Chains A and B, each alone.
Chain A
């Protein structure tokens, strides 16, 4: 909107852009409801990891499965959020390649509206995935050690993280030709970031170089923050680090994503 230089240009106000964004977010949610299997992909994988790690390695790592559960659930919440945030890139890429964006772009709506819509719909996705994960974890024996009020705070933190991290997926989604490539490329990024962290094992057990990375890995910092919030323990330290990462990811990838978005749609 702001890039249109000439005076007589018809403009779309922020309120209207947001309203159109919400309309398109509703479309995104409707699509989630119609294709629950797509959501299942992002939900089931972390749950599989949860079950596998708890019963396979839990005893070996933490002595018994129930204390391992306390360690691993907050970490898998972070992993779930990261995985769910890939979907926004896939959804946008699909819309572009299927021509749906051409339809939107021929309408007098803000250029940002489809993007706002996709990202807002993503929030619903994070929420559903995290709730399912917590329900399964609770059935397996996970217990919040602080207070129930910590759950919405943890959820909000994950949403904020998802909102920052999703710009990487948006960027990749706007650069590559088809939806499958978005998935593949994001996996290359996500797997080392997820596993090179303290989600599954405390970093003290790692070789020096890996420990050094794991200790500054945003996934570790977020997992530690959630552990503090949900299980009890220090919050401020890891939270600060996590927020710094989120700000950095936003600062780098939001402009990149916006540039790629504009270019793809130019």
Chain B
């Protein structure tokens, strides 16, 4: 099949009794890239990952991973993937080293090679000291890291990471990012779900936003930002009494009335033409006004996320009721 698309899914549907977890999802992840899947709780991210990892069968639609059909050739799929699920899936009674060695053995590594690989991964995730302890004595973050290490034993070509850094401290999170980047540099493909938009911004080549089991947006991070919010020009005059004057200048330039935040002494106006920034600099200069902050900015991914999946905005609010 097509070599440059590692993961391809078309029309995936998964229903549970009263919920539709996936309502027809299409995905395409080019080889050697990272797809970030964002979505609020219950959007269907884990369901999609489990289907693509052959742990769950879709009710409709089909998917291939490195050319292997998830339904017809699950073993073929399993031989190219590594999975770090949302919840750790390691044996609590065994030590970290034993868990990793077991997986190595199941992947047909000879005993010595399985042990060496286990030691190497423990080292990579800074778990060497804890490698001889039972998992049940691990902290949540250590468990996460071991689970991640477990998914790398077989040097997978395709890696699924379902919220891999939830519960990790910033240092460990960086470590995971480093590992993912390293793997992708070596040619691996990753599908990453996350609640941390910064993580998607940092790691993902493309971002897909899920909501209620559907893809509601898809594109590069900057494309999504532009699509949703457009750019804004922000000015914070050094002297608070200049606010009125700056507001007038900004309105004149952008042709829109700026949003004014008196507490922060901040003015914000939407712009369509990025060259307005230099015009603004000139005008402030002429007026002899200095600014602490003057910036053209894209909305943050958080804002994009809320705009795309903002339940509060689309759902009618509960009518307020008096308690008496």
**B5 → A minimal CB distance (Å):** 18
Is the CB–CB distance between A100 and B91 below 8 Å?
yes
A106 at the interface (CB under 8 A from B): yes
B283 at the interface (CB under 8 A from A): no
A104 at the interface (CB under 8 A from B): yes
A4 at the interface (CB under 8 A from B): yes
What residue in chain A is nearest B83 (Cβ atoms)?
A106
Bound-complex Cα distance A147 to B123 (A): 56
Is the CB–CB distance between A34 and B93 below 8 Å?
yes
Given contacts A34-B93, A34-B134, A106-B53, contact A8 B73 (CB under 8 A): yes
Choose among B54, B82, B89 the residue that contacts A98 (Cβ–Cβ < 8 A).
B89
Bound-complex Cα distance A159 to B89 (A): 31
Is the CB–CB distance between B107 and A107 below 8 Å?
yes
In chain A, positions 185-215 with a C-beta closer than 8 Å to chain B are: none
**B186 → A minimal CB distance (Å):** 20
Is the CB–CB distance between B107 and A108 below 8 Å?
yes
Return chain A residues, CB-CB under 8 Å to B56: 266
Return chain A residues, CB-CB under 8 Å to B82: 106
Bound-complex Cα distance A107 to B89 (A): 12
In chain B, positions 45-63 with a C-beta closer than 8 Å to chain A are: 53-57
B102 at the interface (CB under 8 A from A): yes
Is the CB–CB distance between B78 and A20 below 8 Å?
no
Bound-complex Cα distance A31 to B90 (A): 13
Contact with A along B89-109 (1 / 0, CB 8 A): 111111000100011011110
What residue in chain B is nearest A105 (Cβ atoms)?
B55
Chain B binding surface, main DSSP class? loop
What residue in chain A is nearest B107 (Cβ atoms)?
A107
**B117 → A minimal CB distance (Å):** 14
**B310 → A minimal CB distance (Å):** 32
**B81 → A minimal CB distance (Å):** 7
Choose among A4, A30, A31, A107 the residue that contacts B106 (Cβ–Cβ < 8 A).
A107
A2 at the interface (CB under 8 A from B): no
What residue in chain A is nearest B92 (Cβ atoms)?
A98
Bound-complex Cα distance A34 to B92 (A): 11
**B311 → A minimal CB distance (Å):** 29
Contact with B along A101-123 (1 / 0, CB 8 A): 11111111100010000000000
Bound-complex Cα distance A27 to B83 (A): 21
B87 at the interface (CB under 8 A from A): yes
B274 at the interface (CB under 8 A from A): no
A99 at the interface (CB under 8 A from B): yes
Return chain A residues, CB-CB under 8 Å to B150: 103
Is the CB–CB distance between B73 and A102 below 8 Å?
no
**B104 → A minimal CB distance (Å):** 10
Bound-complex Cα distance A27 to B101 (A): 11
B24 at the interface (CB under 8 A from A): no
B75 at the interface (CB under 8 A from A): yes
A23 at the interface (CB under 8 A from B): yes
Given contacts A34-B134, A107-B78, A107-B103, contact A8 B98 (CB under 8 A): no
Return chain B residues, CB-CB under 8 Å to A105: 54-55, 78
Choose among A23, A35, A98, A108 the residue that contacts B75 (Cβ–Cβ < 8 A).
A108
Is the CB–CB distance between A9 and B92 below 8 Å?
no
Bound-complex Cα distance A141 to B26 (A): 72
B88 at the interface (CB under 8 A from A): yes
Is the CB–CB distance between A20 and B106 below 8 Å?
yes
A148 at the interface (CB under 8 A from B): no
Is the CB–CB distance between A23 and B85 below 8 Å?
no
A11 at the interface (CB under 8 A from B): yes
Return chain B residues, CB-CB under 8 Å to A98: 89, 91-92
Return chain B residues, CB-CB under 8 Å to A8: 69, 72-73, 76
B137 at the interface (CB under 8 A from A): no
Is the CB–CB distance between B55 and A4 below 8 Å?
no
What residue in chain A is nearest B95 (Cβ atoms)?
A34
B236 at the interface (CB under 8 A from A): no
Is the CB–CB distance between B75 and A99 below 8 Å?
no
Given contacts A6-B73, A8-B72, contact A103 B90 (CB under 8 A): yes
B68 at the interface (CB under 8 A from A): yes
Given contacts A23-B105, A106-B81, contact A4 B72 (CB under 8 A): yes
Is the CB–CB distance between B75 and A11 below 8 Å?
yes
Bound-complex Cα distance A4 to B71 (A): 9
**A114 → B minimal CB distance (Å):** 10
**B105 → A minimal CB distance (Å):** 5
Given contacts A99-B89, A102-B89, A108-B107, contact A9 B72 (CB under 8 A): yes
Interface set of B (CB-CB < 8 Å, partner A): 53-57, 68-69, 72-76, 78-79, 81-83, 85, 87-94, 98, 102-103, 105-108, 134, 150-151, 154
Besides A27-B94, A106-B151, A107-B154, 14 more A-B contacts (Cβ < 8 Å) are A8-B69, A8-B76, A9-B72, A9-B75, A10-B75, A10-B79, A23-B105, A99-B87, A101-B89, A103-B103, A106-B78, A108-B78, A113-B106, A266-B57
Q: List 10 A-B pairs, minimum CB-CB distance, nearest first.
A: A99-B89, A6-B72, A108-B79, A10-B76, A103-B89, A10-B75, A106-B83, A108-B78, A9-B73, A102-B89
Interface set of A (CB-CB < 8 Å, partner B): 4-6, 8-12, 16, 20, 23-24, 27, 30-31, 34-35, 95, 98-109, 113, 266
